[in-house]
Every structure is written in C-alpha cells, then in structure tokens.
A and B are shown apart, each in its own frame.
Chain A
Amino acid sequence: MSDTHDIGCELALKRLLEFVDGELREGEHDGVEQHLRICRNCCSRMEFESRLKERLSALSTQEVPSTTRDRVRDLIKRF
C-alpha cells in the first residue's frame, strides 16, 4: 500500500536524471513524481533537464552522406 511520504529534495535530485530517462523502477519513479508535484524547484530542474535532453536528442540525424550509404550497400553486396 502506498503512502504519501515525501522522499525529499536530496533523494529526488539524486534520482532525477534516471527519472527523466525513464530508467527508475516503478516505486522509485512514483516517489520522484510525487515529490515533483509538491516541490517547485525540483520540478523546474526536472523540466530543465528534460528540455536539455530533448535538445541533445534533436542532434540525432537519419541523414547519411550518399557516399557512405553507397559504400555500405556495395560492401554488403560483396559479402
């Protein structure tokens, strides 16, 4: 049975990046989520970390130079 015990800022911040990454176990995730509902500062930090991660994610590209793509295709053909 869950309770309403707040995990506090220190533990929430320790787990924050793994929370943003979706890598916490369910109980830990819920604990952080609950803390973020009541702590404005930690919530702002979570939003900042999420947005920074989104910006990094936007660097990913599916674009591959055609020379590289052609070379890989030719390579595989010759296997």
Chain B
Amino acid sequence: MTISKDAFETHVLAILGPLHGVARRLTKNEADAEDLVAECVTRAWQARASLADTRAFRAWMFRILTNTFISERRKMLARPREEQLVDESSERENGFSLFERLHQPFLLWFANPEQEFLDKLLREDLDRALAALPEHYRVVVVLADVEGLKYGEIAEALDLPIGTVRSRLARARSALQRTLWSVARDHGLHTAPAAGTHG
C-alpha cells in the first residue's frame, strides 16, 4: 500500500535532522543543503510507490538523497561522465591507525596520549577532517558514525553490496584518521618529523 501524504510528512519530519545533516556534509554549504533536501523530498514523493515498507523509510530517503546529490552535481559540472560516489580503482587508502601512531614510545611522556588527543580534539577538528574526505568516503563515515546507520541500511542507501560497505568504511576511517593525525600535530601531540625522515 502506498504511503499516505500525512504518513509521508510524519516520516520525513522525523528524519529531517539527519537528512539535512548528511545533505550539509555532502554539499558543504547551507543553501545547497536546503535545496538538496527539498529536491530529495520531491523525488521521494514522486517515487513513493517504490517504498515497499515504511520501516525502510530512512535508508530509502538516504538513497534518494545521495542519488539526487550525484545527479544535481553532474548537471552543475556540465560534463557528464559515468559517476558514482566512488572510483574503486583509485582507492589506495588502507590501514592507517591513529591509535598506533599515538601509542608510541616517544609519546609516553603523556600519561595517555590517546586520551590526551581525544580530550583536545574539537568539534571543529572533526568537522574539518570530515569535510576534507573525498565524497565517497565522507558519505559512508557520515552515515555510519555520525548518523549511526547499520551496514545493511548503508548498503541500501548507497545501493552497494554490504561487503563493499565494509571495505569502503574501513578505508574511509583510515583516511579520516590520517587527517586527524595532522590535527594531533597541530595540537602538539607529536613532534614534526626530524630532518631527513618522513612519517
């Protein structure tokens, strides 16, 4: 049975916060985020017959949101190309662990360098690190860690096999931690590399 207008409105308003939050992190500005949400809601209403189960409403809306973002951006770029949120062949990021970097003997003069780092980490640091991620990484981290979607919902939202969600999320977190490592340096939690060395 197709969702009624009242039920549609109730469901949309219930997830408007996360929806707008993801839109803002994708577009990186408030005006575009609002346009994206509005376009997403319009497309969702037009496609309401494809919603089989209202329990899947959130993932269904995120899927429409990300698809809308891709298609709108493609229009803006005016250079059509086969585009998803990712080019898997370019993925080299893997295995960077902030914990391992922080948990090193030369940092042991801090009672607990990881704790120290988390204590000094500002909301703006996280915002900046997320914004610096490539889109295909940013979207999985935002869905999984900021908005708390389960892997199955992310797979549904991004139209990906769940195995791809797992591997991409691992790479995305690795990339995020690499960026945060430079934040740690800014906060004085590790020293600049000595001459002739490179971390």
Using a CB–CB distance below 8 Å, which chain A residues touch chain B? 17-18, 21, 23, 41, 44-45, 47-49, 51-53, 55-65, 67-69, 71-73, 75-76, 79
Q: Give the interface of B toward A (CB within 8 A).
A: 5, 8-9, 12-13, 16-18, 20-21, 30, 33-34, 37-38, 41-42, 45, 97-100, 102-103, 114, 118, 121, 123, 126-127, 130, 141, 144-148, 150-151, 166, 169-170, 173, 177
Closest CB of chain A to B117's CB: distance in Å? 9
Known: A18-B166, A48-B99. A57 touches B146 (CB 8 A): yes
CA–CA, A53 and B146, complex, Å: 8
Secondary structure dominating the interface of A: helix
B41 and A72: CB pair below 8 A? yes
Instruction: Kindly list chain B residues whose C-beta atoms are within 8 Å of the C-beta of A17.
Output: 169-170, 173
In the assembly, what is the distance between CA of A48 and CA of B126, in Å? Answer: 15
In Å, the complex CA distance between A63 and B19 comes to 11
- A55 — which chain B residues lie within 8 A by C-beta? 118, 121, 126
